[in-house]
Chain A
Amino acid sequence: MVLPGAIWLLLFSYLPMPGVVLAFKTYRLVRPPADAFIQNKFIYSLIKSPWVGLDNFRYLTLPTNIDATLTYIRNTVLYNLLFMVVGLVLSVALAVMIFELTNRFLAKVYHSIFFLPFFISWIVVAYVVYALGSSQGIVNSIIAPMGLAPIEVYKEKAFWPFIFLIANIWKYTGNGSIIYLATITGIDRELYEAAAIDGAGKWKQFVHITLPHLVPVIVLLQILAVGRIFGSDFDMFYTLPNGAALVRDVTQTLDVFVYGMLRSSLPLGYPAAAAFLQSIVGFILILITNAIVRKTKPEMALF
């Protein structure tokens, strides 16, 4: 029964794993001779390609490139931290508000609406950004009569952190709140009743009952999020700015950077070095976070 899934994992997840060594090699395409044991061009070339140590990483830190590399790392990490914190707070807040709503039918309708953006692709969101914020956009047709200067999001860096943050909140808060809502629904009502009798208000009930029940879920999700801190929502960062070069400094993340190098004529080792940082550092961070959690609260550790 596990066979089809196991084969898929083997092909799409495990097979690329040894490929991380590309970061330490200069990849050269070599045609395997007819008598070679391995006939696949990529595997054969990968084995035959010379080891170059940290040369590929050195490319990323060349005086001409170091600024870009650091900028993209900064963007990736800061956007991720921002989304983690804001996403967590808003999802929990939304879950609590929906749970507390007296009218259960309305609560369901609301939740369905908040969940809807999760199903809309980033490409469509890119259209929305265009229709709102381009030189011909709706925002301009609203602010022009007020005598304000027109805006052009594809040329102005300052807008992008807000665009990404709002887009991220819009798309994921409803989805994120589901798991918290489910956890809150599962909490024993008698705890709240007892607290209410003891004179605890809603806020005290939240801090002393709801929050402690949510902590295990929060910790679990945050450990996984830490592991993705060098990754990013590729579709969002790639499509929303629509390739606008003027705002690249605030929109490009490591994922997009790696993809760009991969599709350029640069040696394969350069993007591989950046990708190596992403997978290895992410993995190490997960291990560290998990170890810390295990030290303090063993029952909440991921593994």
Chain B
Amino acid sequence: MDIPIKPEAALLDKSFASKKEGRDMLALSPTTNVVLTILLGFLCVLTLIPIYVIVIASITSEASLLSNGYQLWPTEFSTLAYTFLFSQGSIVITAYKNTIISTVAGTVLSVFMVGLYAYPLSRPNFKFKTFFTFFAFFTMLFGGGLVSYYMVTRQILQIQNSLWALFLPSAFSPFWVIVMRTFYQTNVPNEIIESARIDGANEWRTLFQIVMPLAIPGLATVALFSAIGIWNNFFNCLLLVDEAKYYSLQFTIYTTLNNIRFLLENADKMAGLVNISELPSQTFRMAMAVVTVGPIIFAYPFFQRYFIRGLTIGAVKG
């Protein structure tokens, strides 16, 4: 790296560059710090606005919605949408069930497959290391395209119209293989693995009892991202599912949004055919969107302590 600094400058008297003084010397001036704190705080508020918007829309009463439209602070609140959502709505419950099952299955599968695939690639003495690294990496550069993928998944693998369609296509990722490989390399010292082998543990036992426990932050990161990826997945369902009983949550809520917008915009053309007031409640739909986000917001703090660490270590040298 070509950094234009005089070499002797880096060899300054240690006492002068002691850690505490160093921090103080490099710290922002109090004014700048205050400005920065306020600026970032303001941006945080902006970031949270969309979440606020759907939450507030979901507790706007239907009457207030019909007379005033959506508002930042509705004239009348109502939790009816949620009551309604949980009292009936078999579509939502089926979709929820499908999404939970596929998220759990997909997450377990991806931690298993990524964790296993990346480990040998991290070991210096694995014979086919280069080949299998390339085998995974190449798929990040080139793909067969959507049409071919569609035909293969439907006509050869035949996973359409099943729960498999919702998670199998997302159950592995070359990107996470590369992150995990780096994570193993930096976090699991070779000496530990060698001493385990000398003590008589075989390859599998070493992996499950020695290596995996040390790699938990990395594996938790993979778990979190694949869980979120499958929970939020819309494309698998759009492409591979035609039967309502296998619809995922995201697909279901998208279809409902699409329907209501179409009906409302064409209300004039359909006068007499559809009575707007008989449409399934709009706040009900917003409540559905909120309920989709809910579990993520709750899971977030639990995983967060792992994934920032997992990501930073795995990604820096990746």
Q: Which range holds the interface residue count of chain A?
A: 35 or more
Judged by a CB distance under 8 angstroms, whether B107 is at the interface is no
Question: Shortest distance in angstroms between B57's beta carbon and chain A's nearest beta carbon?
Answer: 5
B26 partner, pick from A122, A125, A192, beta carbons under 8 A = A192
**Is there an interface contact between A19 and B257, defined as CB atoms closer than 8 Å?**
no
Interface residues of A in 119-170 (CB under 8 A from B): 119-128, 130-132, 134-138, 140-142, 154, 170
A193 partner, pick from B25, B135, B155, beta carbons under 8 A = B25
- Residue numbers in B under 8 Å from A15 (CB-CB): 144, 152, 156-157
Main secondary structure of the interface of A (DSSP, over half): helix
**Is there an interface contact between A123 and B253, defined as CB atoms closer than 8 Å?**
yes
**Is there an interface contact between A19 and B151, defined as CB atoms closer than 8 Å?**
yes
Given contacts A1-B116, A6-B132, A11-B157, contact A128 B12 (CB under 8 A): no
Question: Shortest distance in angstroms between A59's beta carbon and chain B's nearest beta carbon?
Answer: 14
- Residue numbers in A under 8 Å from B70 (CB-CB): 131-132, 134, 136-138, 141
- In the complex, what residue of chain A is closest to B129 when comparing beta carbons? A2
Interface residues of B in 145-172 (CB under 8 A from A): 145-153, 155-157, 168-169, 171-172
**Is there an interface contact between A178 and B57, defined as CB atoms closer than 8 Å?**
no
Given contacts A101-B37, A239-B254, contact A189 B26 (CB under 8 A): yes
Interface code A206-232, partner B: CB below 8 Å = 1, 0 otherwise?
Answer: 001100110001000000100100000
Inter-chain CA distance A118–B45, complex, in Å, is: 16
Among A60-68, A78-86, A271-279, the one that faces the other chain is A271-279
A-B contact pairs, 27 of them (CB 8 A): A1-B119, A5-B113, A5-B136, A17-B143, A18-B144, A19-B152, A40-B156, A42-B151, A42-B156, A98-B40, A101-B37, A102-B28, A124-B289, A127-B54, A127-B285, A138-B53, A154-B265, A178-B308, A178-B315, A192-B26, A197-B25, A198-B9, A235-B234, A242-B261, A255-B146, A259-B238, A262-B147
Judged by a CB distance under 8 angstroms, whether B114 is at the interface is yes
Report which residue of B51, B145, B146, B174 has the largest number of chain A beta carbons within 10 angstroms of its beta carbon. Answer: B145
- Residue numbers in B under 8 Å from A196 (CB-CB): 25-26
Inter-chain CA distance A43–B238, complex, in Å, is: 24
- In the complex, what residue of chain A is closest to B255 when comparing beta carbons? A123
Main secondary structure of the interface of B (DSSP, over half): helix
Given contacts A194-B12, A272-B148, contact A114 B43 (CB under 8 A): yes
Among B78-86, B188-196, B212-220, B292-300, the one that faces the other chain is B292-300
**Is there an interface contact between A13 and B139, defined as CB atoms closer than 8 Å?**
yes
- Residue numbers in B under 8 Å from A113 (CB-CB): 44, 47-48
- Residue numbers in A under 8 Å from B104 (CB-CB): none
Residues of chain B at the chain A interface (Cβ within 8 Å): 1-6, 9-10, 12, 17, 19, 22-23, 25-28, 33, 36-37, 39-41, 43-44, 47-48, 50-51, 53-54, 57, 65, 68-72, 112-114, 116-117, 119-121, 128, 132, 135-137, 139-153, 155-157, 168-169, 171-172, 174, 177, 203, 207, 228, 231-232, 234-235, 238-239, 250, 253-254, 257-258, 261-262, 264-265, 285-286, 289, 292-293, 296-297, 300, 304, 308, 311-313, 315-316
Judged by a CB distance under 8 angstroms, whether A33 is at the interface is no
User: With contacts A4-B117, A239-B254 known, what are 16 further pairs, Cβ within 8 A?
Assistant: A19-B147, A20-B145, A40-B156, A97-B36, A123-B254, A127-B57, A127-B285, A130-B261, A132-B53, A138-B70, A141-B68, A189-B23, A195-B5, A227-B141, A242-B261, A282-B142
Interface residues of A in 163-213 (CB under 8 A from B): 170, 174, 178-179, 181-183, 185-186, 189-198, 202, 208-209, 212-213
Given contacts A117-B47, A123-B253, A138-B53, contact A197 B12 (CB under 8 A): yes
In the A-B complex, the 3 residue pairs with the closest CB atoms = A19-B148, A16-B144, A275-B145
**Is there an interface contact between A20 and B10, defined as CB atoms closer than 8 Å?**
no
**Is there an interface contact between B300 and A119, defined as CB atoms closer than 8 Å?**
yes
Interface residues of A in 237-295 (CB under 8 A from B): 238-239, 242-244, 255, 258-259, 262, 268, 271-272, 275-276, 278-279, 282-283, 286
Question: Shortest distance in angstroms between A84's beta carbon and chain B's nearest beta carbon?
Answer: 17
Question: Shortest distance in angstroms between B263's beta carbon and chain A's nearest beta carbon?
Answer: 12
- Residue numbers in A under 8 Å from B48 (CB-CB): 113, 116
Given contacts A131-B57, A132-B53, A191-B10, contact A258 B147 (CB under 8 A): yes
- Residue numbers in B under 8 Å from A303 (CB-CB): 137
**Is there an interface contact between A121 and B132, defined as CB atoms closer than 8 Å?**
no
**Is there an interface contact between B293 and A124, defined as CB atoms closer than 8 Å?**
yes
Judged by a CB distance under 8 angstroms, whether A103 is at the interface is yes
Question: Shortest distance in angstroms between A164's beta carbon and chain B's nearest beta carbon?
Answer: 14
A123 partner, pick from B50, B72, B148, B234, beta carbons under 8 A = B234
- In the complex, what residue of chain A is closest to B132 when comparing beta carbons? A2
B3 partner, pick from A8, A212, A275, beta carbons under 8 A = A212
**Is there an interface contact between B292 and A22, defined as CB atoms closer than 8 Å?**
no
**Is there an interface contact between B36 and A100, defined as CB atoms closer than 8 Å?**
yes
A198 partner, pick from B6, B37, B65, B119, beta carbons under 8 A = B6
- Residue numbers in B under 8 Å from A127 (CB-CB): 54, 57, 253, 257, 285-286, 289
Given contacts A1-B119, A191-B5, contact A181 B312 (CB under 8 A): yes
Judged by a CB distance under 8 angstroms, whether A41 is at the interface is yes
- Residue numbers in A under 8 Å from B41 (CB-CB): 110
- In the complex, what residue of chain B is closest to A118 when comparing beta carbons? B228
- Residue numbers in A under 8 Å from B146 (CB-CB): 255, 258-259, 262, 271, 275, 278
- Residue numbers in A under 8 Å from B151 (CB-CB): 16, 19, 22, 42, 46, 268
**Is there an interface contact between A5 and B33, defined as CB atoms closer than 8 Å?**
no
Inter-chain CA distance A194–B3, complex, in Å, is: 12
**Is there an interface contact between B54 and A40, defined as CB atoms closer than 8 Å?**
no
**Is there an interface contact between B234 and A16, defined as CB atoms closer than 8 Å?**
no
